[in-house]
Amino acid sequence: MAAKLSTKRHFKTFLYVLFIFLLGVFVGNIITGRISSQFSLDQERISNYLLSMDVQMSLFESNICRVDVFKLTEDKVTLGKQLTVLEANSRPDDPELISLKTQYTLLSIRQWLLVERIKKDCSKDITTVLFFYSNDENKGANEDQGYILDYIYDKYPDFVVTYAMDVDIDTPALIALKDIYDIETTPTLVVNGERLEGLQPAVEIEKRIFTS
Q: Write down the pLDDT at residue 5.
A: 44
Strand partners, 160: 127
Is 207 in the same domain as 183? yes
Provide the CA 40 distance to its chain's centre, in angstroms: 17
Q: Write down the pLDDT at residue 147.
A: 93
Q: Write down the pLDDT at residue 12.
A: 55
Q: Write down the pLDDT at residue 201.
A: 95
Is 42 in the same domain as 60? yes
Q: Write down the pLDDT at residue 37.
A: 46
Low-confidence ranges of the chain (pLDDT < 70): 1-57, 59-61, 212
Q: Write down the pLDDT at residue 151.
A: 94
Q: Write down the pLDDT at residue 79.
A: 74
**Phi/psi at 59 (5° precision):** -65, -40
Among candidate residues 198, 139, 134, the one with its CA nearest the CA of residue 164: 134
Q: How many alpha carbons lie under 13 Å from residue 73 in its C-beta half-sphere?
A: 24
Is 107 in the same domain as 54? yes
Q: Write down the pLDDT at residue 56.
A: 66
* Full residue range of the structural domain in which residue 204 is found: 125-212
Q: Write down the pLDDT at residue 73.
A: 75
- Per the structure, the count of domains in the chain is 2
Is 82 in the same domain as 171? no
Is 120 in the same domain as 136? no
Contact at 8 Å (CB) between 194 and 208? yes
Give the Å distances, CA to CA, from 126 to 5, 42, 53, 176: 83, 32, 21, 23
Is 60 in the same domain as 139? no
Q: Write down the pLDDT at residue 85.
A: 74
Query: Is 0.75 topped by the overall pTM?
Result: no
Per DSSP, the three-state class of 197 is strand
DSSP assigned state of 1: -
Task: Pick the last residue of a domain from 87, 105, 124.
Answer: 124
Q: Write down the pLDDT at residue 32.
A: 38
